Amino acid sequence: MTDVKLVRNVAILGHGSCGKTTLAEAMLFSAGKTTRQGKVDDGSSTMDFEPEEVKRNISISTGFNQYTWNKHEVFLADTPGDDNFINESKFVAKVAESALFCIGAATGVKNQTLKFTDFIAERKIPTIICITRMDRERANFTSVIEGIKTSLPLKPAMTYVPIGAEANFKGVVNVITQKAYIFDDKGKAKETEIPAEMAGEIEIYRESLMEQVAETDDELIEKFLEEGELTNEDLIQGLKAGVRSGEISPVSVTAAFSNKGTDLLLDMINDLLPSPNECAAFVGVDPKSKDIAEREPSPDAPFSAQVFKTMADPFAGRLTIFKVCSGTLSGDTFYNSTKDVSERFGQIFIMEGKNQKPVDSVGPGMIAAVAKLKETVTGDTLCLESDPIVYDPLTPISPVISYAVTAKKGDEEKLFSSISKMLDEDLTLQLTRELQTKEILISGVGQVHLEVIGEKIKRKFGVEMELHTPKVPYKETLKGKARVQGKHKKQSGGRGQFADTWIEVEPLPRGQGYEFVDKIVGGVIPRTYIPAVDKGVQEAMEKGILAGFPMVDVKVGLVDGSFHSVDSSELAFKIAGSLAFKKAAVEANPVLLEPIMNISIRVPEDCVGDVMGDLNSRRGRVLGMDSEERNEVINAQVPMAEIQKYAADLTSFTGGRGAFSVSFSHYEEVPAQLSEKIIEAAKSAE
| 3-state per-residue secondary structure call for 342-407 | EEECCCEEEEECCEEEEECCECCCCEEEEECCCCCCCCCEEEECCECCECCCCCCCCCCEEEEEEE
Within a 10 A sphere around the Cβ of 679, how many other Cβ atoms?
Answer: 18
pLDDT at residue 79 tops 80: yes
Q: Considering Cα of 84, then 88, then 94, then 99, what sign does the dihedral take?
A: negative
Rounded to whole angstroms, the Cα distance separating 431 from 441 reads 6
Average pLDDT, the chain: 92
What is the reported pLDDT for 275?
95
What is the Cα 247 distance to its own chain's centre? 27
What is the reported pLDDT for 453?
93
What is the reported pLDDT for 36?
87
Selection from 600, 580, 596 nearest residue 588 by Cα: 580
Which helix H or strand E contains 654, and what residues bound it?
helix 646-654
Q: Which amino acid, residue 679?
A: I
What is the reported pLDDT for 64?
94
> Do 332 and 370 form a contact (C-beta atoms < 8 A)?
no
DSSP state of 179: E
What is the reported pLDDT for 686?
65
Domain pair 402-463 / 593-685, same fold: yes
> Do 105 and 133 form a contact (C-beta atoms < 8 A)?
yes
What is the reported pLDDT for 228?
82
pLDDT at residue 19 tops 80: yes
pLDDT tens sequence across 445-491: 888 899 999 999 998 889 999 999 999 999 999 999 999 999 999 87
Domain 4-278, CATH among 3.40.50.300, 3.30.420.60, 3.30.40.10, 3.30.70.980: 3.40.50.300
What is the reported pLDDT for 37?
86
Rounded to whole angstroms, the Cα distance separating 25 from 352 reads 12
Kindly report the CATH number that applies to the domain delimited by 282-383. Answer: 2.40.30.10
Over range 163-175, report the average pLDDT. Answer: 95
Over range 110-137, report the average pLDDT. Answer: 92
> Do 271 and 294 form a contact (C-beta atoms < 8 A)?
no
Rounded to whole angstroms, the Cα distance separating 20 from 668 reads 48
What is the reported pLDDT for 317?
72
Q: Which amino acid, residue 186?
A: K
> Do 497 and 490 form a contact (C-beta atoms < 8 A)?
yes
Over range 98-117, report the average pLDDT. Answer: 91
Rounded to whole angstroms, the Cα distance separating 682 from 686 reads 7
What is the reported pLDDT for 492?
67
Mean pLDDT check: name the lowest of 246-260, 264-278, 303-317, 447-461: 303-317
pLDDT tens sequence across 198-225: 999 999 999 999 999 999 888 899 888 8
- Residue 316 — very low, low, confident or very high, per pLDDT cuts 50/70/90? low
Does 3.20.20.70 match the CATH number of domain 593-685? Answer: no
pLDDT at residue 189 tops 70: yes
- Residue 315 — very low, low, confident or very high, per pLDDT cuts 50/70/90? low
- Residue 245 — very low, low, confident or very high, per pLDDT cuts 50/70/90? very high
- Residue 41 — very low, low, confident or very high, per pLDDT cuts 50/70/90? confident
What is the reported pLDDT for 111?
74
pLDDT at residue 1 tops 80: no
What is the reported pLDDT for 542?
94
Over range 652-668, report the average pLDDT. Answer: 88
Indicate the burial class of 611 (C-beta count within 10 angstroms; 0-12, 13-18, 19 or more): buried
pLDDT at residue 557 tops 70: yes
Kindly report the CATH number that applies to the domain delimited by 402-463. Answer: 3.30.70.870
Phi-psi region of 493 (alpha: psi -120 to 50; beta: other; left: phi over 0): left
List strands edge to edge, sheet with 554-562. Answer: 482-490, 497-507, 554-562, 514-518
> Do 282 and 395 form a contact (C-beta atoms < 8 A)?
no
pLDDT tens sequence across 495-548: 789 999 999 999 999 989 999 999 998 889 999 999 999 999 999 999 999 999
Selection from 95, 165, 94 nearest residue 134 by Cα: 165
Higher-pLDDT residue of 655, 284 = 284
Over range 80-87, report the average pLDDT. Answer: 89
What does the buried/exposed string (b/e) look like for 286-323 if buried means 16 or more CB atoms within 10 Å of the residue's CB? eeeeeeebebbbbbebbbbbbbbbbbbeeeeebbbbbb
Q: Considering Cα of 415, then 416, then 420, then 422, what sign does the dihedral take?
A: positive
What is the reported pLDDT for 314?
65
Q: Where are the domains of the chain?
A: 4-278, 282-383, 402-463, 476-588, 593-685
Over range 72-80, report the average pLDDT. Answer: 95
Over range 357-384, report the average pLDDT. Answer: 94
Fold of 476-588: Ribosomal Protein S5; domain 2 (3.30.230)
Within a 10 A sphere around the Cβ of 211, how many other Cβ atoms?
Answer: 12
Over range 596-623, report the average pLDDT. Answer: 93
pLDDT at residue 321 tops 80: yes
- Residue 340 — very low, low, confident or very high, per pLDDT cuts 50/70/90? very high
